Amino acid sequence: MDISASALSAERSRMRMIANNLANAESYVRGPDGSMRPYRRKRMVFQLGSGAGAGEGVSVAKVVDEMSEFRRVYDPDHPYAGPDGCVLMPNVNPIVEMVDMMEATRAYEANVTAMDATKSILAAAFKIIA
Amino acid sequence: MYFKAMFDQGSIPVLEKVISFCEQRNRVIANNIANVDTPHYRRRDLPVAEFRAQLSSAIAHREKNNPRLFSFEPGKNVVPNALGGVNARQIVEPLNRNGYLRHDDNSVSIDREMAELSKNTLLHNAMVQILVKEFGMMQTAISEKVVK
Amino acid sequence: MVEHIGMNFSGGIKPTGPGAGGADIGKLPQTGSAGKSFKDVLMEKIGEVNDLILDKDNAVEALATGKTENVAEVLVAVEKADQAFKALMQIRNKLVEAWQEIERMQI
Subunits with 3+ C-beta pairs closer than 8 A to C: B
The answer to the question of residue B40 being in a domain is: yes
Q: For residues A17 and A130, which has the higher predicted lDDT (pLDDT)?
A: A17
**CA distances for A89 relative to A35, A68, B134, angstroms:** 15, 12, 69
Cβ(A28)–Cβ(A80) below 8 Å: yes
Judge C/A contact: 3 or more CB pairs < 8 A.
no
Domain of residue B46 covers: 2-143
Domain of residue C61 covers: 2-104
Sequence-ordered list of residues with C-beta below 8 angstroms from that of B123, at least 6 positions apart, any chain: B18, B22, C63, C71
Q: How many domains does chain B have?
A: 1
Q: Give the mean model confidence (pLDDT) for residues C30-52.
A: 79
Distance, in Å, from the CA atom of A102 to the CA atom of A127, rounded to the nearest integer, reads 38
Burial string for C35-66 (b: 16+ CB within 10 Å, else e) reads: eeebeebbeebeeebbebbeebbebbbbbbbe
**pLDDT, chain C, mean:** 75
Cβ-Cβ contacts under 8 Å, B128 against chain A:
124-125, 127-128
Residue A124 pLDDT > 80, yes or no?
A: yes
Pick from B25, B33, B104 the residue to mutate for testing the A interface (most A CBs within 10 Å): B33
Interchain contact, B126 vs C71, CB within 8 Å: yes
Residue-level pLDDT at C33: 53
The answer to the question of residue B70 being in a domain is: yes
Q: Closest chain A residue to B44 measured between Cα atoms? A: A56
Q: Give the mean model confidence (pLDDT) for residues C9-17.
A: 41
Residue-level pLDDT at C59: 92
Residue-level pLDDT at C10: 36
> From the list C61, C63, C85, which residue is nearest B137 (CB)?
C85
Residue-level pLDDT at B122: 92
Q: Give the mean model confidence (pLDDT) for residues A36-48.
A: 84
Residue A17 pLDDT > 70, yes or no?
A: yes
The answer to the question of residue B50 being in a domain is: yes
Residue-level pLDDT at B98: 60
Residue-level pLDDT at A119: 93
Distance, in Å, from the CA atom of B68 to the CA atom of B90, rounded to the nearest integer, reads 30
DSSP per-residue string spanning C3-41: GGEEEETTTEEEE--TT-SSB-TTPPP-TTSSSPPHHHH
Residues of chain B with pLDDT under 70: 1-2, 5, 64-99, 148
Nearest partner of C88 among C36, C45, C24, judged by Cα: C45
Flag whether residue B137 sits within 8 Å of chain C, measured between CB atoms: yes
The answer to the question of residue B148 being in a domain is: no
Residue A104 pLDDT > 80, yes or no?
A: yes
Q: What's the complex ipTM?
A: 0.80
Q: Give the mean model confidence (pLDDT) for residues A83-103.
A: 87
Residue C30 pLDDT > 70, yes or no?
A: no
Shortest Cα distance, chain B CAs vs residue C35, angstroms: 21
Listed range (A30-34, B111-115, B138-142, C56-60) with the worst mean pLDDT: A30-34
Cβ(A21)–Cβ(A97) below 8 Å: yes
The answer to the question of residue B68 being in a domain is: yes
Residue A113 pLDDT > 80, yes or no?
A: yes
Q: Closest chain C residue to B9 measured between Cα atoms? A: C57
Nearest partner of B26 among B102, B98, B143, B128, judged by Cα: B128
Listed range (A54-63, C2-11, C53-62) with the worst mean pLDDT: C2-11
Residue C5 pLDDT > 80, yes or no?
A: no
Residue B22 burial (C-beta neighbours within 10 Å; 0-12, 13-18, 19+): buried
Q: Binning pLDDT at 50, 70 and 90, where does residue A93 land?
A: confident
Q: Domain boundaries in chain A?
A: 2-126
DSSP per-residue string spanning B39-60: TT----B--HHHHHHHHHHHHH
For the entire predicted model, the pTM comes to 0.76
Residue-level pLDDT at A30: 76
